[in-house]
């Protein structure tokens, strides 16, 4: 039986979000209905609302979520009703060239639920990042569900579904930060702070946080930064070099998504170092660098997509590390809120007041 639940909808470009009743179909083959327990508010939700991602309104917002599987469709064996899961953006096929080469985050044939959730009048909803979890329940592909330790707090677990995973993964998966490395992180919002936490986890000896906002640098210290640089008042490239015996950092993680900060990252790295771009640029942005400097400096330039994560490997591992007290994911939760508070949460996010507001059900 299809069921009706409360959910947060973005009805049209820049229109305020609304709490509405939506219809969730029974799960079909390969699908699962998940009862959401917590869902973080991410910049991407705001971008959907602003029409910055695509025009497929109305959107069902929310995508950093954890909850309990309520029911599964035909043929589903990977999860069962009662499982506590973190949701990810898309299920991977396991068979394409990317999957077979062990890089399933570049899978050619990802999928989400085939059936649509709708408004009461039958209007089809577009779920944010294939999830749509500012809702009491949502319909996903079963492969989007990853089982983790059910003892973890849902508001903490859900964050691994997007921004926190992106940052931690930029450090440990893409940047391959190792014991004793020096790391610089440019841009210390949720993603940059997670990159700092990931670098600490990986055993980095020096973690240099760079931001233009002193409040962000204070939080970065709590996440594990050993040094801070305000790039409004001092040159970050010189500062990072000075802090690394003139060499530059082994790994520099750009978590803003701008050409000028990318350029800083490029020149702040050790000659054999790695630059990781995890900040997401806009389509109009161009990078101009002397080709001779690209040639003359070794190392590698990488981008990190969803922290290059493999949810089935990384979500349970990071939850376990949190539960053991070795990674403080709770530090990313600034406040818990209700479904009706999303607009205020967007405003606070915009003002830089919160790392994460998390809707709890």
Positions touching ligand APR (CB under 6 A) are: 43, 163, 166, 186-192, 210-213, 216, 231, 255-258, 261, 278-280
Q: Cis peptide leading into 289, omega within 30 of 0? A: no
C-alpha 306/C-alpha 161 separation (Å) is: 9
Write the CA distances from 226 to 26, 165, 183, 210, 329, integer angstroms.
Answer: 50, 21, 10, 11, 19
What's the closest the beta carbon of residue 278 comes to ligand APR, in angstroms? 6
Rule CB under 5 A: is residue 133 a binding residue for Zn ion? no
CB closer to Zn ion, 175 vs 190 = 190
DSSP-derived secondary structure for 204-258 = -SEEEEEES-HHHHHHHHHHT-SEEEETTTS-HHHHHHHHTTTS-EEEEEE-S--
Tokens of 67: 């909850």
What's the closest the beta carbon of residue 214 comes to ligand APR, in angstroms? 10
Tokens of 266: 């490029």
What's the closest the beta carbon of residue 117 comes to ligand APR, in angstroms? 25
Rule CB under 5 A: is residue 107 a binding residue for Zn ion? yes
What's the closest the beta carbon of residue 161 comes to ligand APR, in angstroms? 13
The partner in contact with residue 96, picked from Zn ion, ligand APR, none with C-beta cut-offs of 5 to 8 angstroms by kind, is Zn ion
Residue whose C-beta lies closest to ligand APR: 189
The sign one gets for the Cα dihedral 256, 262, 264, 268 is positive
Q: Which residue has the tokens 């009461």?
A: 120
What's the closest the beta carbon of residue 210 comes to ligand APR, in angstroms? 6
Stretch that binds Zn ion, among 106-114, 120-128, 198-206, 250-258 (CB under 5 A): 106-114
CB closer to Zn ion, 106 vs 267 = 106
Q: 54 with 44: CB under 8 angstroms? A: no
Q: Which residue has the tokens 């327990």?
A: 37
What's the closest the beta carbon of residue 217 comes to ligand APR, in angstroms? 9
CB closer to ligand APR, 18 vs 258 = 258
Among 44, 173, 244, 304, binds Zn ion (CB under 5 A): 44
Rule CB under 5 A: is residue 42 a binding residue for Zn ion? yes
What part of residues 65-104 is at the interface with Zn ion (CB under 5 A)?
A: 92-93, 96, 99
CB closer to ligand APR, 114 vs 350 = 350
115 phi and psi, to 5 degrees?
Answer: -75, 160
The partner in contact with residue 210, picked from Zn ion, ligand APR, none with C-beta cut-offs of 5 to 8 angstroms by kind, is ligand APR
Pairs from 221-226 (Cβ < 8 Å, separation ≥ 24): 222/331, 223/193, 223/194, 223/196, 223/197, 223/328, 223/331, 224/196, 224/197, 224/199, 224/200, 225/185, 225/188, 225/196
- Strand spans (E) along 137-222: 137-141, 145-147, 182-186, 206-211
What part of residues 153-172 is at the interface with Zn ion (CB under 5 A)?
A: 162
Stretch that binds Zn ion, among 21-29, 43-51, 268-276, 334-342 (CB under 5 A): 43-51
Rule CB under 5 A: is residue 355 a binding residue for Zn ion? no
Tokens of 107: 């899978």
The partner in contact with residue 93, picked from ligand APR, Zn ion, none with C-beta cut-offs of 5 to 8 angstroms by kind, is Zn ion
CB closer to ligand APR, 28 vs 257 = 257
Write the CA distances from 236 to 112, 167, 256, 358, integer angstroms.
Answer: 42, 20, 14, 33
What's the closest the beta carbon of residue 219 comes to ligand APR, in angstroms? 9
3-state secondary structure of 167: helix
What's the closest the beta carbon of residue 68 comes to ligand APR, in angstroms? 27
- Sites of contact with Zn ion (CB under 5 A): 42, 44, 92-93, 96, 99, 107, 162
């Amino acid at each position: 039986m299809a069921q009706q639940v409360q959910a947060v909808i973005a009805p049209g470009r820049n229109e305020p979000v609304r709490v509405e009743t939506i219809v969730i179909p029974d799960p079909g083959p390969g699908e699962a209905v998940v009862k959401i327990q917590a869902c973080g508010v991410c910049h991407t939700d705001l971008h959907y609302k602003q029409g910055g991602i695509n025009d497929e309104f109305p959107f069902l917002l929310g995508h950093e979520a954890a909850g309990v599987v309520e029911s599964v469709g035909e043929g589903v064996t990977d999860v069962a009703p009662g499982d506590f899961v973190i949701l990810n953006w898309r299920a991977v096929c396991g068979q394409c060239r990317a999957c077979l080469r062990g890089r399933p985050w570049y899978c050619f044939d990802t999928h989400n639920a085939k059936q649509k959730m709708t408004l009461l009048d039958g209007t089809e909803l577009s779920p944010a990042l294939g999830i749509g979890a500012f809702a009491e329940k949502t319909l996903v592909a079963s492969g989007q569900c990853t089982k983790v330790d059910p003892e973890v707090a849902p508001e903490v677990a859900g964050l691994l579904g997007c921004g926190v995973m992106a940052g931690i993964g930029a450090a440990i998966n893409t940047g391959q930060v190792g014991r004793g490395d020096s790391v610089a992180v440019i841009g210390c919002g949720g993603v940059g702070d997670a990159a700092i936490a990931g670098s600490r986890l990986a055993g980095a000896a020096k973690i240099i946080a760079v931001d233009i906002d002193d409040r962000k640098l204070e939080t970065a210290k709590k996440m594990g930064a050993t040094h801070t640089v305000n790039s409004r008042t001092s040159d970050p490239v010189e500062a990072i070099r000075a802090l690394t015996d003139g060499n530059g950092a082994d790994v520099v993680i750009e978590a803003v998504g701008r050409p000028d900060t990318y350029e800083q990252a490029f020149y702040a790295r050790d000659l054999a170092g790695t630059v990781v771009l995890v900040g997401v640029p806009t389509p109009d942005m161009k990078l101009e660098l002397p080709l001779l400097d690209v040639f003359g400096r070794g190392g590698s330039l990488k981008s990190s997509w969803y922290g290059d994560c493999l949810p089935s490997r990384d979500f349970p591992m990071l939850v376990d590390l949190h539960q053991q007290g070795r990674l403080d994911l709770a530090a990313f939760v600034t406040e818990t809120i209700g479904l009706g508070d999303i607009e205020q949460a967007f405003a606070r996010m915009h003002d830089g007041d919160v790392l994460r507001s998390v809707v709890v059900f």
